[in-house]
Amino acid sequence: MSVQFGRWSFDGMPPLLDFLERVNTMLAPYGPDNSSSYHKDGVSVLYHAFHTTKESRRETQPDISRSGTVITWDGRLDNRAELIHQFSGSLSIASADVSILSAAYERWGTASFAKLMGDWALSIWNPNERSLILAKDPIGTRHLYYSVENDQVTWSTILDPLVLLAGRPLALDEEYIAGWFSFFPAARLTPYVGIDSVPPSCFVCLERGKRTITKYWDFDPGKRIRYRTDAEYEKHFRAVFGEAVRRRLRSDTPILAELSGGMDSSSIVCVADTIIAQGAAETPRLDTLSYYNDLEPNWNERPYFTKVEDKRGRAGCHIDVSTLQSFRFEFESDRFAATPGSGGQTTEASRQFATCIASQGNRVVLSGVGGDEITGGVPTPTPELMDLLARARLRSLARQLKLWALNKRKPWFLLFFEAARGFFPLGLVGLPKQSQPVSWLNPDFVKSQRAALTGYPSRVRVLGPLPNFQESISTLDSLRRQLACSALSSIPLFDKRYPYLDRELLEFIYAIPREQLVRPGQRRSLMRRALAGIVPEEILNRRRKAFVTRSPMTVISNEYAGLISMSQDMISASLGIVDAKAFCESAQKARQGQAIRIVVMMRTLALESWLRTIGAQGLLRRTPSKIAHRSTAEREKERWPRFTEQ
């Protein structure tokens, strides 16, 4: 992982030295290993390195290709050997990832992006064509932001310099805020009007007075993988999942794996141990980190993660959160929080996490994010039934309706209706209750931002890709938005990797029959079958983990007086986002133990605290509520003055 910053001044004048020094100060905590820069013809690029592989320690960035193209890369290239083989001697196995990328771009141009497997973000300055290309991998695991003004383009891995050095207060992007209340904002957005994020699987080409966004790769809806036996699917799953884990074990320092006791994290740890035991991993050691709360009746994870520790013969770091304050509504006033999800004040849990990483020398953290979503964690027959319905396979549809009706103890016609309703317009069938906007949001805000507030819903198309494939891509887009909304950490500093979001693993999952993933009475069927004997039986056969709801409700109850006081002068209310009176009423219900949308309540509190912090720092442009809600065309005009999009 590394960080970069760049500025292209159209008049050819370089940024002031004081400005660049301030940017370097902001980048330094994220890249402490070394720094370098490029300055020529009005273009300045700053680079700070955080090395996680032995090859990265030999690289020089920004990289200058033979044609003079300036490339800055943040990432991990997984198919190094395959690409090196195509260059017949000009590259070696010791070549840095950026050198391989540079050679690929010289040969194939932007078509090379589809060939790059791994997690990455890059910038390419072409001095001959006077153009800038910004690109990200298909999943969007890395951050890359950019801002276009009348006289310059600025881009950065972190938001800090784009916001703090803008020289003016910034307006909030209402669509981002609306997305924050639902299934996270669209991956192309940031909280600030005029600052955007490069979308996953896309590259942005910027020339003077022109912007184009191009999708360079997408999943193939026509790809099919069909075997005769379950054993063949299981073997293939073990191969692609093992490779997904092995790729993320590429590190010359010990790796830390999050171990919650669920199937996702436990499977990563157990498969990683097998790979390391075979001598097929580059990391010298795999450590684990587990959180537990013996007082929480719905979250007793210790009996499960200790089963994995017993299997591997060593305990990991344990953090007891039962006595720690898990939810803090205040942001540290002397630190810049780029987004509402950047985190508030430093907690005891975060300090213990930092101590764990520092004491073990970990620079990479493995996460199980995505596992539940892609391997059939939700035991619903709807996608499979929709496929059968769309292809008019009525005999198979009748058989599966009968099996699932017995398992779910529901009439078959209700299951049929649940499958059929996905094909109807949303205005006709409506949205599920959990997807509808909460009652304490301003009605005008809800009206203007309904799509983002409801998670960008869309009807399933009968023609075209199978409904199951459409649903899978929709779920992946939600994960992309979640990753885009996360904040890059510098205290502690680490590179986070996601084995379940491996591109080849996703391609396999999307190409096999849905009935392999989920069967009546068999949630995550393929994963359980394939990993039997590798993951402890107690983990594979445990019931679905319950959501933790007591802690946030307890916090709301304990902090109720402060919440009511805060609601008397809510910035989010003055901006026309929240209805303060309705918010107080909902907080009162939560205090009394009544059912409310607790996650959205916590996000509302986080948003309000964040707005107060950046407002006090002079970064927020206060917009009167009567003009707060602009049309999409008006927002885009403010976002892209004098620029055209193609």
Q: Render pLDDT for 555-592 as a digit per residue (tens, 0 to 9).
A: 677 777 777 777 788 999 999 999 999 998 888 888 88
Indicate whether 360 belongs to any domain: yes
Task: Read off the CATH number of the domain in which 68 is found.
Answer: 3.60.20.10
Tell me if 604 is assigned to some domain.
yes
User: Edge to edge, what strands does the sheet with 2-9 contain?
Assistant: 34-40, 43-49, 2-9, 152-156, 145-148, 195-197
CB 389 within 8 A of CB 419: yes
**pLDDT at residue 625 in the model:** 42
Summarize pLDDT for 436-462 with one digit per residue, the tens.
999 999 999 999 999 999 999 888 999
Q: Are residues 11 and 94 in the same domain?
A: yes
Rounded-to-integer distance, Cα 311 and Cα 44, Å: 52
End-of-domain residue from the set 540, 568, 586 = 540
Sorting pLDDT into bands at 50, 70 and 90, what band is 552? low
Q: Mark which of 521, 540, 559 sits at the end of a domain.
A: 540
End position of a domain, from candidates 523, 540, 557: 540
Q: 401 lies in a domain?
A: no
Please give the tally of structural domains in the chain.
Answer: 3
Average pLDDT of 287-312? 88
Looking at the predicted structure, is the pLDDT value of residue 627 above 80? no
194 and 287 together in one domain: no
Q: Which residue has the tokens 């445990």?
A: 542
Are residue 188 and residue 272 in the same domain, yes or no? no
Q: Who wins on pLDDT, 328 or 430?
A: 430
90 and 9 within one domain: yes
pLDDT tens-place string over residues 391-422: 999 999 999 999 999 999 999 999 999 999 98
- Residue 46 sits in which domain range? 2-215
Going by C-alpha positions, the residue among 364, 368, 362 that lies closest to residue 268 is 368
Q: How many CA atoms lie within 13 A of 257 on its CB side?
A: 29
Is residue 592 located within the same domain as residue 567? yes
Q: What is the pLDDT of residues 108-146, one digit of tens each?
A: 999 999 999 999 999 999 999 999 999 999 999 999 999
Q: Mean per-residue pLDDT for 164-190?
A: 94
Residue pLDDT, tens place only, 484-535: 998 888 889 999 999 999 999 999 999 999 999 999 988 899 999 999 999 9
Asked if residue 77 belongs to a domain, the reply is yes
pLDDT at 636: 52
Q: Report how far apart, in Å, the C-alpha atoms of 467 and of each of 384, 419, 432, 473, 515 are.
A: 8, 10, 18, 10, 14
Instruction: Summarize pLDDT for 256-266 with one digit per residue, the tens.
Output: 999 998 999 99
Provide the mean pLDDT of the chain. 90
SS3 state at 358: helix
Would you state the pLDDT for residue 94?
Answer: 92
Q: What b-and-e string marks burial along 175-187, b requiring 16 or more CB atoms within 10 Å of the CB?
A: bbbbbbbbbbbbb
- Cβ contact 52:363 at 8 Å: yes
153 and 70 belong to one structural domain: yes
Q: Same structural domain for residues 586 and 530? A: no
Structure token pair of residue 68 = 């003079």
Residue 9 has pLDDT above 60, yes or no: yes
123 and 144 Cβ atoms separated by less than 8 Å: yes
The pLDDT, as a whole number, for residue 151 is: 93
- Please give the share of the chain, as a percent, with pLDDT higher than 90: 73
In a 3-state reduction of DSSP, which class is residue 635? helix
Q: How confident is the model at residue 642 (pLDDT cuts 50, 70, 90)?
A: very low
**Judgement on whether residues 453 and 484 belong to the same structural domain of the protein:** no
Q: What is the pLDDT averaged over residues 605-623? A: 86
Residue 597 — φ and ψ, nearest 5°? -80, 85
Q: What is the pTM of this model?
A: 0.93
Q: What is the pLDDT of residues 342-380, one digit of tens each?
A: 866 677 888 999 999 999 999 999 999 999 999 998 889
**Are 362 and 492 part of one and the same domain?**
yes
66-75, 78-87, 207-216, 598-607 — which is least confidently predicted? 598-607
Mark whether 289 and 176 lie in a shared domain. no
Residue 117 placed within a domain: yes
Q: Do the domain assignments include residue 447?
A: yes
Compute φ and ψ for 372, nearest 5 degrees.
-60, -40
pLDDT of residue 307: 96
pLDDT of 276 above 70: yes
Asked, for residue 186, whether it belongs to a domain, the answer is yes
- Per-residue pLDDT tens digits for 25-45: 999 999 999 999 999 999 999
Do 286 and 330 fall within a single domain? yes
In a domain, 395, yes or no: no
Compute the average pLDDT of residues 608-627.
77
Q: How confident is the model at residue 173 (pLDDT cuts 50, 70, 90)?
A: very high
- How does DSSP classify residue 261? S
Residue 494 sits in the same domain as residue 564 = no
